[in-house]
């Protein structure tokens, strides 16, 4: 079946099950291809899975030296005097990946990539957006919006951002042969990466996103940044349109905050208000979409097996395993 839901006992069980699924697909692809491409997510959901995958690679269960990776997103506007300092800032997603996955591997990937957010000077970006309002438009119906930069611009800087930061990342993924296995987490409102609720699917390959004030304020309140001034106000993100081009998508979600959006994404309509709902259309034309959930995030789906079956969605209950 194109969509499968696996419901596990808790976070540790979810991490092990997800790692086994991804490991199996890696081994399967490596039998057919010289190298494979992984799409990777940050956030808490995949951290346990990454540790299991690194251990499997280090044990020789698959060759991590034949893997190339692309991450979903990266901040724009991290503190630092240059791109290198911003890239290795403790709050950067590059730093996160080194700590949680890449640094655990004995045999490194062929190449690892994160969106080129660290190359953008936030102060210059804000100045150019203000100076050239005709060069771009907001896309989205909620607080977080993508910034669509037009093909022809008066600002050389904004033109550079579009061509060398956004379009270049999408082109590099295409040149690598597209993504074989894409790992994603889920935001509380069903967003993936920084593809926030309300941002349209079409034209969302790699986006420049304006973070909403709530997101910025929470980052300061949670101690990630000392003040709003020091916090990133923008991010670069793969959008749902690009995420769901992958040959396989493995979605991880745990906890009460994810339960409603996970349920709506499979039983509700496909809507930009719940970006991961785009997966329903994806599953009709691609290979596999697998949800790996803990019992809390998957509780409502367990009680609606009949509705899911009617939509061609298989449910595997491992909560008693």
What the chain holds in terms of domains, given with CATH numbers, is: 3-317 (3.40.50.1360)
For residue 195, the 8-state DSSP code is B
Structure-token pair, residue 253 = 């979600």
Q: Is the pLDDT of residue 139 over 80?
A: yes
- Phi and psi (nearest 5°) for 106? -70, -40
Give mean pLDDT, residues 21-49. Answer: 96
Mean pLDDT of 170-191: 93
pLDDT tier at 52 (50, 70, 90 boundaries)?
Answer: very high
Residue 205 has pLDDT above 60, yes or no: yes
Greater pLDDT, 100 or 81 = 100
Check if the beta carbon of residue 204 is closer than 8 Å to that of residue 232.
Answer: no
For the whole model, what pTM was predicted? 0.94
Beta-carbon contacts of 60 under 8 Å, excluding residues fewer than 6 positions away, are none
Mean pLDDT on 231-237:
93
Intra-chain end-to-end CA distance of the chain, in Å = 22
Half-sphere exposure of 149 (CA within 13 A, CB side): 26
pLDDT confidence of residue 143 = 75
DSSP-assigned states of every residue in 62-123: S-GGGEEEEESEEEES-S-SSHHHHHTSTTSHHHHHHHHTGGG-SS--SEEE--SGGGS-HH
| pLDDT at 215 exceeding the cut of 80 | no
At residue 1, the pLDDT reads 46
For residues 94-102, give the mean pLDDT.
96
Dump strand ranges (E) for 204-243: 206-210, 234-238
Output 152 or 1, whichever has higher pLDDT.
Answer: 152
Say how far apart CA 156 and CA 67 lie, in whole Å.
36
Between 229 and 119, name the one with better pLDDT: 119
Beta-strand ranges (E) seen in 150-300 are 181-184, 206-210, 234-238, 248-253, 288-294
Top mean pLDDT of 1-5, 84-88, 133-137, 238-242 is at 133-137
- Where is mean pLDDT largest: 55-69, 209-223, 274-288? 55-69
pLDDT (tens digit, 9 = 90+) per residue, 260-315? 999 999 999 999 999 999 998 776 655 689 999 999 999 999 999 899 988 889 89
What is d(CA 204, CA 92) in angstroms, rounded to the nearest whole number?
Answer: 22
The β-bridge relationship of strands 67-71 and 111-113 is: parallel
* Mean pLDDT on 224-237: 89
Above 70 in pLDDT, residue 225? yes
Q: Average pLDDT over the chain, rounded to whole? A: 93
pLDDT above 60: residue 134: yes
Q: What is the mean pLDDT of residues 134-144?
A: 90
230: Cβ contacts below 8 Å, ≥ 6 apart:
79
Cross-strand partners of 4? 290, 314
Extract the tokens encoding 37.
Answer: 């491409």
pLDDT of the residue at 33:
95
Q: How far is CA 3 from CA 49, 181, 233, 264, 315, in A?
A: 20, 14, 35, 14, 9
Beta strands in the chain (DSSP E): 3-8, 36-40, 67-71, 73-76, 111-113, 136-139, 145-149, 181-184, 206-210, 234-238, 248-253, 288-294, 313-317
Angle at 60 between CA 55 and CA 98, to 5 degrees: 40
């Amino acid at each position: 079946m194109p969509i499968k839901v696996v419901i596990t006992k808790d976070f540790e069980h979810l991490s092990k099950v997800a790692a086994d699924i991804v490991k199996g697909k890696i081994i399967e692809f490596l039998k057919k291809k010289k190298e494979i491409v992984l799409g990777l997510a940050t956030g808490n959901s995949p951290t346990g899975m990454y540790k299991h995958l690194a251990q499997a690679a280090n044990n020789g269960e698959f060759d991590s030296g034949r893997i190339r990776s692309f991450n979903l997103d990266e901040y724009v506007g991290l503190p630092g005097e240059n791109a290198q300092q911003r890239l290795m800032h403790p709050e950067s997603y590059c730093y996160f990946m080194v700590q949680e996955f890449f640094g655990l591997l004995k045999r490194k990937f062929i190449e690892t990539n994160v969106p080129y957010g660290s190359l953008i000077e936030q102060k210059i970006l804000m100045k150019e957006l203000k100076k050239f309002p005709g060069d771009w438009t907001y896309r989205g119906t909620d607080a977080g919006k993508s910034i669509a930069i037009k093909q022809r611009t008066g600002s050389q800087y904004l033109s550079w951002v579009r061509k060398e930061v956004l379009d270049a990342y999408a082109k590099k993924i295409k040149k690598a042969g597209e993504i074989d296995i894409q790992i994603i987490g889920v935001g509380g409102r069903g967003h993936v990466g920084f593809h926030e609720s309300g941002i349209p699917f079409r034209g969302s390959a790699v986006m420049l996103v304006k973070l909403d004030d709530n997101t910025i304020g929470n980052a300061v309140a949670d101690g990630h940044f000392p003040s709003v001034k020091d916090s990133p106000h923008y991010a670069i993100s793969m959008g749902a349109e690009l995420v769901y081009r992958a040959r396989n998508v493995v979605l991880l979600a745990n906890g009460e905050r994810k339960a409603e959006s996970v349920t709506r994404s499979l039983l509700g309509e496909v809507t930009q208000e719940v970006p991961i709902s785009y997966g329903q259309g994806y599953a009709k034309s691609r290979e596999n979409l697998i949800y790996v959930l803990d019992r809390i995030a998957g509780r409502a789906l367990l009680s609606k097996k009949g509705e899911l079956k009617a939509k061609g969605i298989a449910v595997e209950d491992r909560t008693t395993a």
